[in-house]
Chains A and B, each alone.
Chain A
Amino acid sequence: MPDIVFMLLLFFMVTTVFRQYSGLPVDLPRARRIEKLEAKKNVTNIYANLQGDISIDDKLVKTKDIATIMYQKRLDNPKLIVSLKFDRSVKMGTVTDIHEQLREADALRVNYCAKFGE
């Protein structure tokens, strides 16, 4: 019994650390008034880093393709929430371009992913 428990323990310890780094490595902005995202199955993550790479579902995409991809997702799941995981130092130009694409795809519920802090 203690052995099994130890194995499970080790498993969870390892996965807790690893799961933070899927997608692109980004340094999330800090905010205080943050809310938890309720339904994880409705969430699609969009990552953007300083180099201008954009990734959806762990695949690199071009800015102009976002609308098509998100429109398809929107059709599959009308309750779609888009979680935007942008690096805190990206320029608003990039963010606005992505906003435009999302509006085009009618995916309007967004979440600016942030960490708690100043």
Chain B
Amino acid sequence: MLLNNRQRREARIPNDSMADIAFLLLCFFLVTTSLDLDKGLQLGLPPKGEAKPIPKKNIASILINAAGEVAIDENETPILSIKDIIKRRLAENSKLIVSIKTARQTPYQVYVKVIDQVKMAEATKISIAEPEQ
């Protein structure tokens, strides 16, 4: 009969490319392991005992309170608009120093976000003020 004459094809998984796939995965993990370095926001702390008087017009003071609310020169500001404000002020005055002051109860995440915004505004002079007790 015609039905019986039909040849049955054998199903196989190709074995030969196994090593290639393993190599590819190996390369992937090799690369990702070395890329898994520390990333973060880099900053220089002020040396001890240094307090230079800076003309007030060159300072943009950012204040963060215990609730995580931010004010630039006493005007309350949403965190996400810090970038634009600092950028504009930098364009007006290239000597601008950004001073960041926090309260002791301020959450660290807010502080990092503010520094992130200031860095995004390409400000290079960032100063960390000691919090009020």
A residues in contact (CB < 8 Å) with B: 1-2, 5-6, 8-9, 12-13, 15-16, 19-20, 29-37, 40, 43, 45, 81, 83-84, 86-93, 95-96, 99-100, 102-104, 106, 108-116
Residues in chain A near residue B64, CB distance under 8 A: 92
Give per-residue flags for B16-55: 1 if the beta carbon is below 8 A from chain A beta carbons, else 0: 0011001101100110110011111111111110000000
B108 near A89 (CB under 8 angstroms)?
Answer: yes
B22 near A9 (CB under 8 angstroms)?
Answer: yes
Most B CB within 10 A of own CB, among A1, A6, A15, A104: A6
Shortest Cβ-Cβ A-B pairs, 5 listed? A93-B104, A12-B29, A88-B109, A113-B40, A31-B116
A-B contact pairs, 20 of them (CB 8 A): A12-B30, A16-B33, A31-B115, A32-B116, A33-B120, A35-B40, A83-B38, A83-B40, A87-B108, A88-B107, A89-B108, A90-B108, A92-B111, A93-B105, A96-B104, A99-B45, A108-B46, A110-B42, A112-B41, A115-B39
Q: How far is the CB of B110 from chain A (nearest CB, A)?
A: 9
Secondary structure type dominating chain A contacts: mixed
B41 near A34 (CB under 8 angstroms)?
Answer: yes
A104 to B46, CA, bound (A): 10
B residues in contact (CB < 8 Å) with A: 18-19, 22-23, 25-26, 29-30, 32-33, 36-48, 64, 102-109, 111-113, 115-116, 119-120, 128, 130-131
Residues in chain A near residue B120, CB distance under 8 A: 32-33
A112 near B112 (CB under 8 angstroms)?
Answer: yes
B46 near A103 (CB under 8 angstroms)?
Answer: yes
A100 to B41, CA, bound (A): 19
Q: How far is the CB of A46 from chain B (nearest CB, A)?
A: 12
B26 near A5 (CB under 8 angstroms)?
Answer: yes
Q: A30-B109, A114-B112 are in contact. Are A13 and B44 (CB under 8 A)?
A: no
A9 near B25 (CB under 8 angstroms)?
Answer: yes
Closest to B35 in A: A36
B108 near A91 (CB under 8 angstroms)?
Answer: yes
A33 near B19 (CB under 8 angstroms)?
Answer: no
A36 to B44, CA, bound (A): 16
